[in-house]
Structure 1
Amino acid sequence: MLLRPVGILPASRRLLAALALALPLATLPLTAQATSPADELPLEDIQTFAEVFERIKRAYVEEVDDSTLLRNAMRGMLSELDPHSAYLDRDEFASLRESTEGEFGGIGIEVGLEEGQLTIITPIDDTPASRAGLQARDIILSIEDTPTENLSLQEAVTLMRGSPGSEISLTILRRGEDESRTVTLTREVIRTESVRSELLETGYGYLRVSQFQSRTGDQVTSAIQRLERDGPLNGLILDLRNNPGGVLQAAVAVADAFLEGGLVVYTEGRLPDTQMRFSAGRETAAPDVPLVVLINGGSASAAEIVAGALQDQRRGVVMGTESFGKGSVQQVMPLGNGEGLKLTTALYYTPNGRSIQAQGIEPDVEVVRGRVEVTETGRQLREADLEGHLRSSEEPRERQEMTERLREDYQLGEALNLLKALNVLDRRDR
């Protein structure tokens, strides 16, 4: 069938007129500078947009209302900019506020788009996703029976959230493997506790930051003080693995807990209010404690800011694998109709001027994820191997459990070994 071209009809004329009325406002400069040609809306392209709008209205196989078409157009404008800019309807805007407040119904993963595929950035600690063994860079092929290849990021997040107690199935493909697998998870109320701490051994502390919330800086300072109650710290491990980021000011506060001054991070964008610099203050919770910072491919955004600042200021040794590389700043802008706009407005830079965006943080010492396996070949027989041997009263069960934990988490074990080596060298230099 030969289709005849359709001209610009009344609805598109109304749209073109509305855009023309908006033109003077759109071309106003943000400052008192003269308007440049780049600030002006292209009338020919607006006319083409209106014509496409009208043809869809008249000829599409199903009837589509004007509001849906316009919102789809706005979504398209933003989705083509970068993976993190988005138009948010009322439900999506409310969902974003829930996650910012730190409590929502879901499975506990941070997701993003990598080469067009819905990919797990990181599972959040102690959530259905982390307990099921989901890992950073796992690809989500489908959510229930819905393939993810044509879903926007926000649509995927909306599908995965739901009432606590309800079940959801995900089809997962792990990078490097040929076969996918289906995982069934039960949604929970995700309450994100951002800081956890403990002593690995006498004098050696462990500080886990799972994400950056408004009070994370204060919680890190309190955790360091608790660790020091049993005596001075000979070393501290700051674990930022699988930390998807969060509040910028919280990242600055965490870096400030270890720095006695200097630049932490700065941002650069097109508008004057996106040019920001954040520096550490003089008061420091742990100014002299030897520090190892653990990162991996799930460490993103604010986690990369902290790792980059500590690395550039030579405050600690960064260990693990290359981080995710999300170095862009998003502002959430409420709109008058109860909806919202999430827009990338600037990029992060480390104190030495390194861009984090699509680059990530390279560790000083690369240690891949793994576990220690003890082979029997060539192993000498020891007293502890004899059946019925007397157990030492100096090795409590907690010590045995910690040894097993370090064997399971090779990166953590290597970080502890490095701290001990640094202390040996420090004592020799005195």
Structure 2
Amino acid sequence: MTPALPLPGRTRRALSPRRLLAPLLSVGLLALPLAAPATAATDDLPVEEIQTFAEVFERIKRGYVEEVDDGTLLRNAMRGMLSELDPHSAYLDREEFQSLRESTQGEFGGIGIEVGLEDGQLTVITPIDDTPASRAGLQARDQILRIDDAPTEQLSLQEAVNLMRGEPGTAIELTILRRGESSPRTVTLTREVIRTESVRSELLEPGFGYLRISQFQTRTGDQVGEHIRRLEREAPLSGLVLDLRNNPGGVLQAAVAVADAFLDGGLIVYTEGRLPDTEMRFSAASQTAAPDVPLVVLINGGSASAAEIVAGALQDQRRGVVMGTESFGKGSVQQIMPLGNGEGLKLTTALYFTPGGRSIQAQGIAPDVQVVRGRVEVTESSRQVREADLEGHLRSRDAPRERTELSERLREDYQLGEALNLLKALNVLSQRER
């Protein structure tokens, strides 16, 4: 199907509010009513540039080595207009638009990976929990050099996403280069139906809970409340780790609801754009699921968008200690607009800000306590001799104290272990204040 030429009347119809998608309300994919700027009616078209565009179009039609149809040339022109704006604005053909709608519904065939362009290179933002990508060990900041036989440097972001998606059960081969490594590695994965459960929880130790949010979906806020209540039924909570590492973001209202679960008032996030409809403010309600539980929030370079909203709100309101490494830094809002022919437009229209007025765009959230990824190695030589190890030592009159063994999980996840240690310290201090 050939899109209309970029003339004034056709362009205005394509951006009419009546043609906008119903609100998806997601940070990366936010659809809101988009009104034309007040000055649009009086803006003069750049006639000279349009004439140059028409000349280039005609020369390609007549002189290019192979014949190219009008529709392909015009779609490529529109792709070029949007790709030069920012990494998240894009022109979507029918297949791409349908693929985007599927991803917002949370079910599609693929490997479970969020990707973006970093310095022009296809790069992993984060693998989604319990998917082929996460089980294969892919990490945030891994560079994807090839998808099967296709070099990624020749692909657009959407083309790369389309190649990685496919029928469940089919195989895909990725060539990746990890930071700090000199040679690439090849990973073979089998596509699955990706249905992401956004929240899971467990007790790390009696009284100390762990709440993991892998992405922000429509019901994530409700699920967080359910998991907090479930943890409290097992044991009164003395502290909680909120794990937002490798969380690529998602639904804006879900991020607001999660922050609201820990805040009893105040601003959570606000957005600013050129149009009045892109300016919004979200505040916490007085009722909250966990108003007083000591909180440590884990973030890293894979924490993006909605995850950064939550971390930034809790940090600015001094509700919790943010620990880990600097987040990804995606602070922009996209609107999704169908163009009436089955194709669509994804356009960046606003930036969001933390309660303290910080823009996260290209900055990220800096943790209060920086802890890099690692694991704890316990060796025999590191174990010191204690009084209890000496032959013939005097025995204590008190009951023997139970020794807490470091679980294998905490050994493998140094950041989580440090978060638990900090929660224990905060709990000790809070008991002294009572």
> What's the TM-score once normalised by structure 2's chain length?
0.88
**1:297 match:** 301
**1:30 match:** 36
Task: Measure the CA separation in 2 of the matches of 1:103 and 1:138.
Answer: 24
Alignment deviations for residues 201-229 of structure 1 (CA, whole Å, 9 cap, x no partner): 11100000000000000000000000000
What amino acid is the match of 1:411?
A: Q
Residue 158 (structure 1) aligned to one of 158, 162, 167: 162
Task: Measure the CA separation in 2 of the matches of 1:336 and 1:25.
Answer: 9
What amino acid is the match of 1:176?
A: G
Tell me, what secondary structure is at the counterpart of 1:245? coil
Task: Measure the CA separation in 2 of the matches of 1:233 and 1:280.
Answer: 22
What are structure 1's unaligned runs of at least 5 residues? 1-14, 387-392
Whether the 8 Å CA contact 1:23–1:41 is kept in 2: the answer is no
Is 1:96 the counterpart of 2:96 in the alignment?
Answer: no
Is 1:418 the counterpart of 2:406 in the alignment?
Answer: no
> Shift in Å at residue 40 of structure 1?
2.0
User: Relative to 1, partners in 2 of residues 1:385 and 1:301: Cα closer, same or farther, differing over 3 Å?
Assistant: farther
User: Relative to 1, partners in 2 of residues 1:384 and 1:65: Cα closer, same or farther, differing over 3 Å?
Assistant: farther
Whether the 8 Å CA contact 1:26–1:40 is kept in 2: the answer is no
> Shift in Å at residue 19 of structure 1?
2.9
> Shift in Å at residue 31 of structure 1?
5.8
> Shift in Å at residue 150 of structure 1?
1.8
**1:119 match:** 123
Whether the 8 Å CA contact 2:37–2:275 is kept in 1: the answer is no
User: Relative to 1, partners in 2 of residues 1:291 and 1:49: Cα closer, same or farther, differing over 3 Å?
Assistant: same
What amino acid is the match of 1:249?
A: Q
> Shift in Å at residue 377 of structure 1?
3.5
Alignment deviations for residues 264-299 of structure 1 (CA, whole Å, 9 cap, x no partner): 000000000001101111110000000000000000
User: Relative to 1, partners in 2 of residues 1:173 and 1:26: Cα closer, same or farther, differing over 3 Å?
Assistant: closer
User: Relative to 1, partners in 2 of residues 1:211 and 1:21: Cα closer, same or farther, differing over 3 Å?
Assistant: closer
How much is the aligned-residue C-alpha RMSD, in angstroms?
A: 2.4
Task: Measure the CA separation in 1 of the matches of 2:96 and 2:142.
Answer: 24
Is 1:340 the counterpart of 2:344 in the alignment?
Answer: yes
> Shift in Å at residue 426 of structure 1?
1.0
Alignment deviations for residues 308-363 of structure 1 (CA, whole Å, 9 cap, x no partner): 00000000000000000000001111110011111100001000000000000000
User: Relative to 1, partners in 2 of residues 1:69 and 1:395: Cα closer, same or farther, differing over 3 Å?
Assistant: farther
Task: Measure the CA separation in 2 of the matches of 1:201 and 1:30.
Answer: 55
User: Relative to 1, partners in 2 of residues 1:328 and 1:384: Cα closer, same or farther, differing over 3 Å?
Assistant: farther
Residue 236 (structure 1) aligned to one of 233, 240, 245: 240
What amino acid is the match of 1:230?
A: E
Percent identity, aligned pairs only, is 81
User: Relative to 1, partners in 2 of residues 1:377 and 1:222: Cα closer, same or farther, differing over 3 Å?
Assistant: same
User: Relative to 1, partners in 2 of residues 1:365 and 1:34: Cα closer, same or farther, differing over 3 Å?
Assistant: closer
Alignment deviations for residues 239-258 of structure 1 (CA, whole Å, 9 cap, x no partner): 00000000001000000000
**2:24 match:** none
Task: Measure the CA separation in 1 of the matches of 2:11 and 2:169.
Answer: 50
User: Where in structure 2 are the equivalents of 1:266-277 lying within 5 Å?
Assistant: 266-277=270-281
Task: Measure the CA separation in 2 of the matches of 1:78 and 1:113.
Answer: 15
User: Relative to 1, partners in 2 of residues 1:136 and 1:385: Cα closer, same or farther, differing over 3 Å?
Assistant: farther
User: Relative to 1, partners in 2 of residues 1:247 and 1:385: Cα closer, same or farther, differing over 3 Å?
Assistant: farther
Runs of 4+ in 1 over 6 A off after TM superposition: 23-29, 382-386, 393-396
> Shift in Å at residue 303 of structure 1?
0.1
> Shift in Å at residue 306 of structure 1?
0.1
What are structure 2's unaligned runs of at least 5 residues? 17-34, 391-399
Whether the 8 Å CA contact 1:27–1:41 is kept in 2: the answer is no
Residue 406 (structure 1) aligned to one of 410, 421, 429: 410
Q: How many residues align?
A: 404
> Shift in Å at residue 394 of structure 1?
9.8
User: Where in structure 2 are the equivalents of 1:344-423 lying within 5 Å?
Assistant: 344-377=348-381, 379-381=383-385, 403-423=407-427
**2:7 match:** 19
Q: Which moved more, 1:230-239 or 1:119-128?
A: 230-239
What amino acid is the match of 1:143?
A: I
> Shift in Å at residue 33 of structure 1?
5.3
What amino acid is the match of 2:429?
A: L
User: Relative to 1, partners in 2 of residues 1:27 and 1:357: Cα closer, same or farther, differing over 3 Å?
Assistant: closer
Whether the 8 Å CA contact 2:329–2:362 is kept in 1: the answer is yes
Tell me, what secondary structure is at the counterpart of 1:149? helix
Residue 226 (structure 2) aligned to one of 208, 222, 229: 222
What amino acid is the match of 1:316?
A: G
What amino acid is the match of 1:142?
A: R
* Bigger relative contact order, structure 1 or 2 (CA pairs below 8 A, ≥6 apart): 2
